[in-house]
Structure 1
């Protein structure tokens, strides 16, 4: 076997079709496709390829990294009514998706009730504008953030009419997101101007609907689903939040908001049921403290949801 054949076989064993090998005398040149890998993944694969290419007769190995530029996509997280935990889910999904290696940004599009600065431990940090675009604020969770809550004074009411709120959403979404691959949009409840602007102008790749199990929340969730269906935005699935409460003292389970309603509604509507998020004091206290549970190594609630959503997005791509 010639040197070039030996090098190609060795490199293919670690990089598969990602690598294209050339030889110039005793120097091996490798063009390595690193699309979809984060910084650590790219570095690790580059080192493996260099080691594999250093076969007898090879004196030097040069590796060139390439990657396809992916179009930034938008994931809308929506609900028909307020108080169902949509913002908490949005923050934790963004973090869980980022931990999977997706360059993720979070837009707090709940213009009238922004809560992401508290959830993402970014209160008091204001974004700056450069060349007419807002610069997202990095957080310690690997997710960049833009929120109306970063642009107004704390505890001040945002008394804007619909067109002003819709314009504010556009400024947030059109910020300078750089290499961000996925924007998670935490939408306000309902089906008003902000939602209409979002589906018409920014066109999400898909929407996740959040509801509690109770009938009243599910009625409003159906309205949100209908809005996206009419706009041609695919529904990724339904998440049931506040699904069961385990007493920390006696260990017994109770269902203050009912049980299984969202799963039954998803089946009735013919959309996927993505899973449940329990009603726990731990999630509430961690969120209030700016410590989203998805950032911890022991997360078993939001990581599976992010896995299902990422699988859906990858399938669409």
Structure 2
């Protein structure tokens, strides 16, 4: 199965604290780590570790961080011919993680803001050859729109992860198979407090189907005719970073393999749960055999 991820790649600087700081408060960190991240790269690495043949379309800076980011993707067996090296700094993220797994994230996009439609057009064949593409909102929206249109026009399945939540044209829905907000993103995008009402609002705007990730409550699939829920797995959570990204990668794989959405939700929930048991973004992403063992034992 072939997956193309069009999205961001960052270097994450992770501070572990006993609790998240309040406004104006200074805390001492328990530990500090430098971890490869970025929503797009996280999804690409997750998909590769779960057994997919993955290509990344992205931009990194012409700095030492950019070189490390690209080399790391290659080490994860990801095709990097679609990764452009541009002038300026690479993307970085400052992440604070509390003992209970809650986190705060501040992202500087850097090179991620410089990926453009011209580069996408130059790599159009990569998208056309895929079974599924994954897109997010840490790169310019016009590039996201171009990517999903190319995919849709060539019968490539599209998963749109609207994170971080920001405005996007409703036209995107005509090119997308599944939109995958978490509960907070769904409320921001739809303006509705109720999950099902929020999902139906997106469907009224043109969405084909909605999958909402609900953290410890699992996930929910909603379309015009169906609502399907899948519970989460009980784990000792220490860091939720990249759990949503891994969920999306797993869902992309299941979307290629089968039309059984309930099975897809259960598998994706298991992958997301496993991620929360380790610290960091890509350092926490599980391999296929780990997921299979985890599901068998649970």
Normalised by the size of structure 1, how large is the TM-score?
0.38
Normalised by the size of structure 2, how large is the TM-score?
0.39
Which is greater in Rg? 1
